[in-house]
Structure 1
Amino acid sequence: MAAENGDDLTVAVAQKNASEVTEEAGSYPKDLSYGVYDCDPSSVDPNGTIISGIEQKPRIVLMGLRRSGKSSIQKVVFHKMSPNETLFLESTNKVVKEDISNSSFVQFHIWDFPGQIDFFDPTFDSENIFGGCGALIFVIDAQDDYMEALERLRHTVTRAYKINPRINFEVFIHKVDGLSEDYKMDTQRDIHARATDDLYDAGFEQVHLSFHLTSIYDHSIFEAFSKVVQKLIPQLPTLENLLNIFISNSAIEKAFLFDVVSKIYIATDSSPVDMQSYELCCDMIDVVIDVSCIYGLMSGDELAPAFDRHSQASIRLNNGTVLHLREVNRFLALVCILRDDAMEKQGMIDYNFTMFRAGIQKVFEVRKSQNRKMAAISFTNENGETVHC
């Protein structure tokens, strides 16, 4: 089997004996327990603390001019649509609200806004849209004249920030697949400089914009969405610390904690992310699931998931690098990059992984305990009645 970069892969998909498995799949809550975003404002105090015990999924808003590629991004990342099929998508003419929660650990609401929307229209309810927003993604077509897009970006960000200063503002400089590397960098620098200058001139110099070069024809769109989702996860520093401890004690060079369905990584260690390494890890997940669909399912188990508590795999490249995948639960996978000689200490890696998995479970147990404590708080409603939650 040959990888896309020409490396020969020797695939060894190993299934552990059920008697050897000490962890149970699905032992974590399906809900990732994000911070306070998409909830009733009346249930949040001025400090942002939930007082009604209700914690809902965050909302991500997609905005940009018409034909900038917003709907294509959503279809490719969350619906596994082929990039070539997006050429036949019709232009969005109304707000499309979708709940991203189909058999995935990463869960949130995503709202896709049509490019022709008028912010000055009295029917445009800015309070409702931006008030419960966790992240606002503004998509700019890098292959088009982006002056109008920058003006729309300034107007969108300033209006949204006045309503909800806690929004994470993300700019996707999209459709860069047809541009040279030098032109990509020049375009990013130009858009970054113009956008920040516009906000400074408008008196919003405190607003921070994050910029990402993206394309649906490679893994850059998945990496960009990974960074957006990570900002909505309050447990991210703890997860990163666990990964740092794991790789430093296991002779591992790089590790990603992946959501298997979307191939978004919800955490990685503190070392820089190399795009080629990320692509190899994504491809490995596809290989494991494809091989499991063919050889891993027992007869009569057609409806059983291809990725389960038995999933484990190692792929050796001809350059001495090994990709190692372990199931964390039925929604998450740990994918590691290490040298071939480090695999000689398989027992140490297995033990450290067991400790890592137990650490993640404790993280979510603490979060669950905190939610129960908040649920016990009582408050007084507008009628003067005491309500116990």
Structure 2
Amino acid sequence: MTSSVESSSAQSNSHDDSQEGFRTPTNLTLMKYLQELPDAERPPNPLQQQYHTGRVPNSKAGDGKPRLLLMGQRRSGKSSISGVVFHKLPPAETLYIETTIRVKKESMHSFMDFQIWDFPGHLDYFDPAFDVDKIFDEIGALIWVIDAQDEYLDAINRLNATILNLQNSYPNINIEVFVHKVDGLSEDYKMDTFRDIIQRVQDELSDAGYENAPVSFYQTSIYDHSIFEAFSKVIQKLIPQLPTLESLLNSLCANCRIEKAYLFDVLSKIYIATDTSPTDIGSYEICSDYIDVVVDIGEIYGWERPNENGESESEIEETGGTDCESLITMERKGNNYLYLKEINKYLALVCLMGDDSPAEKKALIDYNVGVFQKALSQVFPFSNGTNATTT
């Protein structure tokens, strides 16, 4: 389960000439790229990561944690989404979740610190009784959940009213619309419903004088990987260093002939970055399921992770512990190998590789991944923390 970068480096020198297509100067490529990064892509304080929020410049200072607001009509599935994605709740058990009657706030501590606020569907957030600035000031994204199996016209009206109310004070807000529960619809009806919702939202905003609103739409369900794929896209918009992470992954893929690489948050199975080659849901599903298998074994041999209550029997420093590593062969046309390497206790690199034999070139891959890991730690500093706490 463990691997030494130093030993891999030594082996790479002896295999450099014989392994055609695998180039050990990846470290030079990555480090040179790292040195040329604009200062804007580096966090000003290595101990405090910076993320995109929807705040207007010079607004009052907050806690620096981007806030994800889950909003929508009653029974649209907001609490179920939060439970499945961030607490590993089996989808079947979401049937027993009680209706949310007050704002539920959670702080998530993983590869990045952010907050999840789950709002009851009956609240009017712009009522004078509510402090609008306190709700929206540190917002990273507003996630509006629409039940595709229910009447959605009122949900669209409330969504558009919310967007228009926020434009003056929060013009940079990310609006993410989850057209949810699409698993219960036929393929044709699902696409018709999705297109109808997009058209109605855009038309009503256009009629109100708000052209080209920055609203993104996703089809989601808690019974497949679509909800994790959607959250991955949402989280990526909050990371200023995303272009840098993608470039580092592109360089790694080019030097090791990797067909697809994902950088996953292990706890939630959200991928925070991938290389710029086309992404398909099948590859994501395979990599996501692979993480579950390796993590189950890694609980014994790898990082000691905090539990769901944020408790840990003993703290392990970022530089300590044992990092999990795995390479498997699978019966799948086109992608025959899966490679996983834990970057730290929160992040894992998962790669899909083709017909070449990684078993013969694994020393070179390990070496280049070790260089990628060092470069990543400089671009994207990690904070220690626990998994989830409720406030």
TM-score by length of 1: 0.79
CA distance in structure 2 between the partners assigned to 1:276 and 1:31 by the alignment: 36
- Partners of 1:259 and 1:333 within 8 A in 2: yes
Q: Cα distance 1:233–1:189, how it changes in 2: closer, same or farther (>3 A)?
A: same
Partner of 2:31: none
Partner of 2:255: 249
Amino acid at match of 2:108: I
2:345 counterpart of 1:330? yes
Higher relative contact order (CA 8 A, sep 6+): 2
2:356 counterpart of 1:341? yes
Q: CA deviation at 1:45?
A: 3.2
Deviates most, 134-143 or 265-274: 265-274
Selected match of 1:353 from 360, 366, 369: 369
Matches within 5 A, 1:10-89: 14-16=1-3, 20=7, 33-35=49-51, 37=53, 45=58, 56-89=64-97
Amino acid at match of 1:97: K
CA distance in structure 1 between the partners assigned to 2:130 and 2:63 by the alignment: 26
CA distance in structure 1 between the partners assigned to 2:321 and 2:285 by the alignment: 22
Q: Cα distance 1:96–1:297, how it changes in 2: closer, same or farther (>3 A)?
A: closer
Q: CA deviation at 1:55?
A: 6.4
CA distance in structure 1 between the partners assigned to 2:48 and 2:271 by the alignment: 13
CA distance in structure 2 between the partners assigned to 1:272 and 1:313 by the alignment: 24
2:326 counterpart of 1:318? no
Partner of 1:153: 159
Amino acid at match of 2:353: L
SS of the residue 2:380 aligns to: helix
- Partners of 2:246 and 2:275 within 8 A in 1: yes
CA distance in structure 2 between the partners assigned to 1:32 and 1:79 by the alignment: 25
CA deviation digits over 1:127-153, x for unaligned, max 9?
222222111000000001111111011
2:241 counterpart of 1:225? no
Q: CA deviation at 1:350?
A: 1.9
Q: Cα distance 1:130–1:138, how it changes in 2: closer, same or farther (>3 A)?
A: same
CA deviation digits over 1:330-357, x for unaligned, max 9?
2111000001414132233222212211
Q: CA deviation at 1:289?
A: 1.4
Selected match of 1:95 from 75, 95, 103: 103
Selected match of 1:208 from 201, 211, 214: 214
Amino acid at match of 1:98: E
Q: CA deviation at 1:162?
A: 2.2
CA distance in structure 1 between the partners assigned to 2:50 and 2:119 by the alignment: 23
Q: CA deviation at 1:359?
A: 1.6
Q: CA deviation at 1:205?
A: 1.0
CA distance in structure 1 between the partners assigned to 2:215 and 2:88 by the alignment: 28
- Partners of 1:255 and 1:336 within 8 A in 2: yes
Q: Mind listing any 5+ residue stretches in structure 1 that lack a counterpart?
A: 1-13, 23-28, 369-389
CA distance in structure 1 between the partners assigned to 2:107 and 2:315 by the alignment: 23
Partner of 1:168: 174
CA distance in structure 1 between the partners assigned to 2:165 and 2:58 by the alignment: 23
Q: Cα distance 1:139–1:63, how it changes in 2: closer, same or farther (>3 A)?
A: same
SS of the residue 2:178 aligns to: strand
CA deviation digits over 1:353-381, x for unaligned, max 9?
1221122122136x99xxxxxxxxxxxxx
Q: CA deviation at 1:185?
A: 1.6
CA distance in structure 2 between the partners assigned to 1:346 and 1:329 by the alignment: 20
Selected match of 1:126 from 119, 132, 140: 132
Deviates most, 254-263 or 181-190: 181-190
Partner of 1:309: 322
Q: CA deviation at 1:272?
A: 2.1
Partner of 1:291: 297
Deviates most, 148-157 or 127-136: 127-136
Q: CA deviation at 1:268?
A: 0.4
Q: CA deviation at 1:100?
A: 1.1
2:158 counterpart of 1:142? no
CA distance in structure 1 between the partners assigned to 2:313 and 2:249 by the alignment: 34
Q: Mind listing any 5+ residue stretches in structure 2 that lack a counterpart?
A: 10-44, 305-311, 384-391
Q: Cα distance 1:78–1:228, how it changes in 2: closer, same or farther (>3 A)?
A: same
CA distance in structure 2 between the partners assigned to 1:119 and 1:83 by the alignment: 29
Q: How many residues align?
A: 336
CA deviation digits over 1:219-267, x for unaligned, max 9?
1111111111110001000000110111011111100001111111110
TM-score by length of 2: 0.78
- Identity, in percent, stands at 53
Q: CA deviation at 1:196?
A: 0.5
Q: Cα distance 1:94–1:60, how it changes in 2: closer, same or farther (>3 A)?
A: same
CA distance in structure 2 between the partners assigned to 1:356 and 1:297 by the alignment: 20
CA distance in structure 2 between the partners assigned to 1:150 and 1:297 by the alignment: 44
Two-structure CA RMSD over aligned residues (Å): 3.0
